[in-house]
Amino acid sequence: MNSKAITLFILTIINNLLNAQAPHWSWIETGQVDNYAQPYTVTADLDANIFISGLYMGDLTLGLTTLTSEFDFDPFFAKFDSAGNVIWAKDASCTGYSACNSTITDEAGNVYLTVFFENTISFDGTELTSVGEFDFALIKYNSGGDLQWANQIGGDSLDISHNLIIDANGDIVLTGQYVSDELTFDSYTITKQGSSDIFIAKYDTDGNAIWAKSAGGDDWDFSYAISGDADGNIFITGGFISPTLPFGSTDLINKGYIDMFIAKYDASGNPLWANSGGGISY
């Protein structure tokens, strides 16, 4: 392609962009912070209320509510109505680093979220202390922002939940990675095979673990995203550095350094199939 053709091509793109219809904004809501704030997640319930979460340091004002972090970074979570008005805003006080990194709502408007933290964290008077370097917690608030329960998960090292869903049966399913030798979900304990393994776990709405599963090879493996279908099947995706990543009777072979995978589980946590993709490098 010569220079005139390239110029014409670029001008055509610019013209199309300039003549494209501008987005219609319904509303924009801002918060005020005197130090630092970083939202990580956004989700909505069936009534079009919006939930955001993340971390902050200093004073964070959302609507008429001002949150103050007592130490360094604290997690925050807030609910807005469909017009952008703040309904409630909450935080948790942590003596170390912490953040809220996933949220989901159910049909009743309850919100479930995961928070990773070090040292000690307090949710409305419920105090959790990390066993290892970083633990994570699965927390439930009702639609009014009242804490229902907070469950801590963690072993002797670094463990983190990356995402969660409400499945077709109304249960909570979360996935992530763990570096601890063992990770316990109530009465279910999974054991690491490599440097970092994948976990997937299911809880009922009362915070009781239904099952927990692990997948991992000899090196670093991790799951970042999760979804489900109408039959209650669960899909997870992430990456693996291990030469071989087993899912049940299926062994995925790494073709480069980091390959990606997708795996399907049934509602009981049994692996059904797994596929991978990757090149000769990253």
Residue-wise pLDDT for 9-61, tens only, equals 434 444 554 555 566 667 676 777 778 888 899 999 999 999 999 999 999 99
Q: Which of 144, 118, 145 is nearest to 133 (CA)?
A: 118
What pLDDT is attached to residue 14? 44
Instruction: Name the more confident of 249 and 34.
Output: 249
HSE-up (13 A, CA, CB side) for residue 232: 10
In tens, the pLDDT along 125-153 reads: 999 999 999 999 999 999 999 999 999 99
Give the single-character DSSP code of 164.
Answer: E
3-state secondary structure of 36: strand
What region does 119 belong to: left with phi over 0, alpha with psi -120 to 50, or beta?
A: left
* Cα–Cα distance, 88 to 54 (Å, whole number): 15
Could you tell me the pLDDT band of residue 5, with boundaries at 50, 70 and 90? very low
Copy the structure tokens of residue 30.
């801002």
Q: Among the listed ranges 6-20, 111-125, 178-192, 261-275, which one has the minimum average pLDDT value?
A: 6-20
Instruction: For the sheet with 234-240, list strands across it.
Output: 221-228, 234-240, 259-265, 271-277
For the segment 81-92, the average pLDDT, to the nearest whole number, is: 94
Q: What average pLDDT does the structure give for the chain?
A: 90
3-state secondary structure of 88: strand
Would you say how long the chain is, in residues? 282
Q: Among the listed ranges 70-79, 86-95, 130-139, 239-248, which one has the minimum average pLDDT value?
A: 70-79
Copy the structure tokens of residue 149.
């329960």
- Residue 151 near residue 207 (C-beta atoms within 8 A): yes
Q: What is the dihedral of CA 250, 231, 236, 153, to 10 degrees?
A: -110
Could you tell me the pLDDT band of residue 6, with boundaries at 50, 70 and 90? very low
User: Which amino acid appears at position 167 of this protein?
Assistant: D
Taking the mean position of all CA atoms in its chain, how far away is CA 169? Answer: 20
* Cα–Cα distance, 42 to 75 (Å, whole number): 14
Contacts of 216 (CB under 8 A, 6+ apart): 192, 193, 194, 196, 197, 198, 242, 245, 246
- pTM equals 0.88
* Cα–Cα distance, 126 to 131 (Å, whole number): 16
Give buried/exposed letters for 161-170 (b at 16+ CB in 10 A, else e).
Answer: bbbbbbbeee
Q: Which of 223, 220, 234, 243 is nearest to 172 (CA)?
A: 234
